[in-house]
Amino acid sequence: MNRKTKGAIAVGAGAILLLGGMGSYALWSDAEDVAGADITAGAFGLACPNGAWTDVSGDVPVTAVTPGTTLMVPGDIWEYNVTCTVTATGKNMRAQLSVTDLGTDSTLPPTSRVDIETEVDNAAYTNAPIVVSGGQVLPVKVTVAFDPATTGTDFTNGQINVSGMQIMLNQVRPS
């Protein structure tokens, strides 16, 4: 290798070492902190105290009944009433309230003489989402009516299972 080549290599290596010692080659830059706070999730829940079953047949005085102990007969209308309180904080809160597991494992005949209806907030339950807010009170009513026109021994010793009944509140996204 000749002297000029060696000299050029030495100058190039020196320049690299010089730049490496001073840091990397960069253009101007700047950064700013973003003002703000933590993103916090809202809250969601449903509190339902123990409700009560009553016989509201209309032709007898309204009395308390106990499913599993009190026996229903044709013409009886029983109601379960409870008042639930919603916890719902946050934006875009809508929910669907439903009564689930009502009548599962029941022995209802194919042409049932028993009618089961549910009301939420004093309106027939339509399975449609409702707007909910924190502290909102929702009355829930389940009515079980045994057709008075039942003849013979239809539904004798039949059962409507209400032991697994649950009141559910599920958040849904606004449409």
pLDDT of residue 155: 78
Fold designation for 43-172: Immunoglobulin-like (2.60.40)
φ and ψ at 8, to 5 degrees?
A: -65, -40
User: Which token pair is 21?
Assistant: 């010692």
Strands 114-120 and 137-146: antiparallel
Which ranges of the chain have pLDDT less than 70? Answer: 1, 3-25, 103-112, 127
Task: Record the pTM.
Answer: 0.71
pLDDT of residue 6: 63
* DSSP string across 31-67: --PPP-------EEEEE----EEEE--SSS--EE--B
pLDDT of residue 21: 55
Contacts of 48 (CB under 8 A, 6+ apart): 82, 83, 84, 85, 140, 167
Q: For residue 45, which of 122, 99, 97, 102 has the smallest C-alpha distance?
A: 97
Q: Where are the domains of the chain?
A: 43-172
pLDDT of residue 79: 95
Q: For residue 138, which of 120, 117, 114 has the smallest C-alpha distance?
A: 120
